[in-house]
Amino acid sequence: MTPRMEEKINELLEEAYKRGKEAIPSGHVATYIPELGKANPMDLGISICTREFDHFNIGATDKRFTIQSISKIISLAIALDMFGPDKVFERVDMEPSGEAFNSFVDLDTKSNKPMNPMINSGAITVASMLLGHVSLEEATDVIRKICMDDEIFMNRQIFESEMNHLSRNRSIAYLLESKGLITNVEETLELYTAICSLEVTAESLANMGMIFANDGKISRKSDDRIFSKRTTEIVKTIMLTCGMYDRSGRFAVDVGIPTKSGVGGGLISVADNLAGIGIYGPALDDKGNCIAGTPALMYLSRELQLHLFRKDSLLDRLITLKLKAKLI
Ligand code: GLN
């Protein structure tokens, strides 16, 4: 990339960072898992990985934090590749819930299966499908590969802290068992919580986002892939409709990039075919999403024209220019 192009993206990133920082004082770190309460709410890191695997970073992009609910997209993708969409969606629906991530109201009153795999009830159901087929080590390896990050390990303090404060997820899991949707409740909860406790960085999430943007392939040139094209299409669609819980609709309108959040403060965004964006900011909004993320992503989406329904992306033009520059 020419210095001018790099400068342009870095300028935009700086402004996005500034806008994100301004939103932080209205947010709060999660405390229902006590260990998460120790995070520094002022931390913010934003990382962009373009389809040429060029990285643009600002702030705390190499700070480790737990992946939490972002792991739901990986567990879903593994299950889709392993069992196929029909089997998976027999047990969990694909409708936005409009309820909090840890709600089980709909499950109890409206439907006989969780509304979608991005909320806890859906993700616990997916984890129970994986149990006995995929070990924690194997799931960790997939996450290392897709994040292009060999340093991903479980944070044991956070894992234990969540296991000791699991009443809500345990209630969900027993309700799922009562409906015949899962078995081995305690083992399922352990696998689900352990995967949530794996530590990533904003930069590793940007890589993961880029691989999803690439339809599961690890580079545009090779055929080496982590997930099938169909699987990544399904996951990206569900990220768009359900990835930000009961803020997914507004977020899709304002930002228009499939995104998944985690209560550890992570966000992963997939600008299809163009870039992955990873954000770390542990101060959360009232829905449990990184509060700095929305203004930062809104700005980047507008300036780089990353909204799903915007055609002429500036980032696309910059990357294409780079390719042309290489050819000359
Ligand atoms: N491990 C967390 C939980 O189950 C994940 C929730 C989240 O990131 N939204 O509550």
Stretch 276-302: mean pLDDT: 97
> pLDDT, tens digit, for every residue of 194-218?
999 999 999 999 999 999 999 999 9
The structure's pTM equals 0.95
- Buried/exposed code over 80-96 (b: 16+ C-beta within 10 A; e: otherwise): bbebeeeebbebbbbeb
What are the chain's domains? 3-65+202-327 (3.40.710.10), 69-196 (3.40.710.10)
Residue nearest to atom 2 of ligand 1 (CA): 68
C-alpha to C-alpha distances, 99 to 26, 105, 120, 211, 268, nearest whole angstrom: 22, 8, 11, 29, 21
Please provide the DSSP assignment of 296-307 as one string. Answer: HHHHHHHHTT-S
> Is the per-residue pLDDT at 110 higher than 90?
no
Pairwise CA distance, residues 135 & 154, whole Å: 14
With 0-12 CB in 10 A as exposed, 13-18 as middle and 19+ as buried, what is 109?
exposed
Pairwise CA distance, residues 181 & 122, whole Å: 10
Q: What pLDDT shows up at residue 16?
A: 98
| Residue 323 banded pLDDT, cuts 50, 70, 90 | low
242 Cβ contact partners less than 8 Å away, ≥ 6 residues apart: 94, 95, 96, 97, 115, 116, 117, 118, 119, 248
For the CA of 69, the nearest atom of ligand 1: 8
Question: Position 185: which residue type?
Answer: V
- The best mutation among 69, 125, 167, 290 to test binding of ligand 1, ranked by most ligand atoms within 8 Å of the C-beta, falls on 69
Cα 263–Cα 216–Cα 46 angle in degrees, nearest 5: 40
> pLDDT, tens digit, for every residue of 127-160?
999 999 999 999 999 999 999 999 999 999 999 9
Catalytic residues: 69, 72, 192, 245, 263
